[in-house]
Amino acid sequence: MTTSATHGRRVLIVGLGIAGIATALRLHRAGWEPVIIERAPERRKGGYFIGLFGTGQASAKRLGVLEAMGNRNHPQSKTFEVDRANRRRKGMAFADVPGAPRMLLRGDVENALFDALPEQAEIRFSTVPTRIEQGERGAEVTMTHTKTGATVTERFDLVVGADGMRSTVRKLVFGLHEDYLYPLNYMIGAAILSKPVRGYNLHDGLVLAEAGRSAWVFPFADHNPGVLFSYRVDDVDAQFRRPPIESLRKAYGPEPAGPVLRQLLDDFAAADEYLFDSVNQVRMNCWHKGRVVLVGDAAWCLTLYSGMGASTGLAGSELLGNMLEKYPDDVGRALVAWEEKLRPFITELQADGVKMRAFFTPSGEAQRILRSAFLRLASSPVTRPIFERLTIKDKLKTRDIVVQA
Ligand SMILES: Cc1cc2nc3c(=O)[nH]c(=O)nc-3n(C[C@H](O)[C@H](O)[C@H](O)COP(=O)(O)OP(=O)(O)OC[C@H]3O[C@@H](n4cnc5c(N)ncnc54)[C@H](O)[C@@H]3O)c2cc1C
């Protein structure tokens, strides 16, 4: 083990996802020297579908990366509500979702941020934090190389845990996962399809929503669509005791899948990369302790149902840099000010995420019927203006929280 003391304003950022890279970028501009550690041996690729709403777009623009992220919306994109027999009816196109999100792959967001990182940002792959001790002069962090087992201990002026929903920084500094993870009792499976769904255009979206389970196809203008399975469960642990595809087939059975669902399940089974996980919010009373702060999913995971995890990862990181710039000699004060500004917004989004869960996947038959009625209102030329007037009030996802703060 080696120990090194440093006297500059060094920040250790744990996690090379959206929140981690955005934090490195913003803090470097605020005069900090970022060191990023990432558990994976290399940068991850593509990933799943992301709708980037106004909150995230505003921060991305100020960080200078919005245009590099691009926009994979197709102007003629339609979304169909389908059933197992492939009976279809027009639903709400993703481009018409209130808040007009940019349709992206997670990789689009990460790549744009990564390309903007300064050369000086040091990145260490296959590295995890294994001990964090705080003293008056900073936080001493022991980092372990996951392949060789070699450890190094270094001192930092600030440690940012941007290591996702099951954050190790949170566990080391704040306590057990069980104290902060709030299970929503839903599972998700996500992958990129190898081809468009048979009988549909590349840029068509699909939603197959049944009581307690749904399958979504998120379209792009220039890329194979993403599939998302979302289903309700009582026993989350049981879902992990067999291969993901078996859990999915069981959850969507025993009825015959029909042509669309069959293709989606077969494609998921054949995918090289997929995500299969339980859905949990992270709920904490405080996101910082001493010189350690959590951002993104590590601090407030909103879940995919809110559609705001990437946006708040960007906005939270930008705001953190602003506050550290405002209070350059007082990290503690900066962190308090940061959390005071951000927390009310996150609290609203967490409540919204729980409500939106029923829109993604109705929990039972009554919710399915309600959802269907809601969509009819939103899609009909007669009732659409009323619907728009009602939803226009909902500016939650376009709120520029950093500027308002
Ligand atoms: C299917 C799906 C769809 C979604 N759709 C949307 C959407 O439409 N709009 C939206 O805004 N959001 C969406 N989200 C949410 C959004 O993707 C996340 O909120 C966001 O990516 C979280 O970023 P993060 O950087 O906080 O965490 P993560 O993306 O989880 O990144 C954490 C990083 O830390 C690394 N790490 C973990 N542990 C350690 C460790 N011990 N040491 C070092 N490194 C570690 C990981 O390898 C990873 O690179 C969706 C999420 C899912 C799953």
DSSP-derived secondary structure for 64-113 = T-HHHH-----TT--EEEE-TT--EEE---GGGSTT-PEEEEHHHHHHHH
Q: Which CA distances in Å does 262 have to 165, 228, 252, 337, 386?
A: 31, 14, 10, 51, 37
* Cis peptide upstream of residue 254 (ω within 30 degrees of 0): yes
Instruction: With cut-offs at 50, 70 and 90, classify the pLDDT of residue 45.
Output: confident
Per-residue pLDDT at 394:
57
Nearest to 321 by CA among 170, 173, 160: 160
Per-residue pLDDT at 4:
36
Nearest to 362 by CA among 149, 210, 180, 185: 210
Instruction: With cut-offs at 50, 70 and 90, classify the pLDDT of residue 3.
Output: very low
Residue count of the chain, please give it: 405
Per-residue pLDDT at 97:
73
Q: Ligand 1 centroid vs 393 CA: distance in angstroms?
A: 29
Instruction: Please compute the mean of the pLDDT values over residues 189-214 and round it to a whole number.
Output: 96
Q: Ligand 1 centroid vs 200 CA: distance in angstroms?
A: 30
Instruction: Please compute the mean of the pLDDT values over residues 175-190 and round it to a whole number.
Output: 97
For residues 37 and 172, the answer to whether their CB atoms sit within 8 Å is no
The 10s digit of each residue's pLDDT in 46-75 is 789 999 999 999 999 999 999 999 999 999
Strand arrangement of the beta sheet that strand 138-145 belongs to:
2-4, 151-156, 138-145, 127-135
Residues 35, 177: Cα–Cα separation, whole Å: 25
For residues 248 and 213, the answer to whether their CB atoms sit within 8 Å is no
The 10s digit of each residue's pLDDT in 135-170 is 988 999 999 999 999 999 999 999 999 999 999 999
Per-residue pLDDT at 100:
79
* Domain ranges, ordered by start, for the chain: 2-65+108-180+281-358
Per-residue pLDDT at 386:
63
Which atom of ligand 1 is nearest the CA belonging to 188? 1
Which of 73-87, 165-179, 295-309, 371-385 comes out lowest in average pLDDT?
371-385
The 10s digit of each residue's pLDDT in 337-379 is 999 999 999 999 999 999 989 888 988 888 888 877 777 777 6
Q: Whose CA is nearest to atom 12 of ligand 1?
A: 309
Per-residue pLDDT at 70:
97
Instruction: With cut-offs at 50, 70 and 90, classify the pLDDT of residue 181.
Output: very high
Q: Ligand 1 centroid vs 131 CA: distance in angstroms?
A: 23
Instruction: With cut-offs at 50, 70 and 90, classify the pLDDT of residue 195.
Output: very high
Q: Whose CA is nearest to atom 42 of ligand 1?
A: 128
More confidently predicted of 172 and 99: 172
Instruction: With cut-offs at 50, 70 and 90, classify the pLDDT of residue 6.
Output: very low
pLDDT at 389 over 80: no
Which atom of ligand 1 is nearest the CA belonging to 15? 34
* Domain at 2-65+108-180+281-358, CATH class: alpha beta
Per-residue pLDDT at 302:
98
Would you call 341 exposed, middle or buried from its count of C-beta atoms within 10 A (0-12, 13-18, 19+)?
A: middle
Which atom of ligand 1 is nearest the CA belonging to 313? 26
Per-residue pLDDT at 90:
87
Q: Longest C-alpha distance within the chain, in Å? A: 70
- Angle, nearest 10°, between helix axes 309-326 and 106-116? 20
**Count of C-beta atoms within a 10 Å radius of residue 62:** 17
Instruction: Please compute the mean of the pLDDT values over residues 220-236 and round it to a whole number.
Output: 96
Return all residues near 321 (Cβ < 8 A) that are at least 6 apart: 23, 26, 27, 29, 30
CA 49, chain centre distance (Å): 10
The 10s digit of each residue's pLDDT in 74-104 is 999 999 999 999 999 988 777 677 777 999 9
Per-residue pLDDT at 391:
57
Residues 40, 145: Cα–Cα separation, whole Å: 11
Amino acid at 374: F
Residues with CB under 6 A from ligand 1: 14-20, 37-40, 48-51, 106, 128, 162-164, 168, 188, 190, 228, 275, 296-297, 304, 307-311, 313
Per-residue pLDDT at 379:
67
DSSP-derived secondary structure for 246-288 = HHHHHHT-SS--HHHHHHHHHHHHH-SSEEEEEEEEE--S-SE
Which atom of ligand 1 is nearest the CA belonging to 226? 1
Residues 151, 143: Cα–Cα separation, whole Å: 5
Q: Ligand 1 centroid vs 159 CA: distance in angstroms?
A: 18
Amino acid at 403: V
pLDDT at 287 over 80: yes
- β strands within 273-359, DSSP E: 274-282, 288-289, 292-294
pLDDT at 307 over 90: yes
Q: What is the mean pLDDT of the chain?
A: 92
Instruction: Please compute the mean of the pLDDT values over residues 111-136 and round it to a whole number.
Output: 96
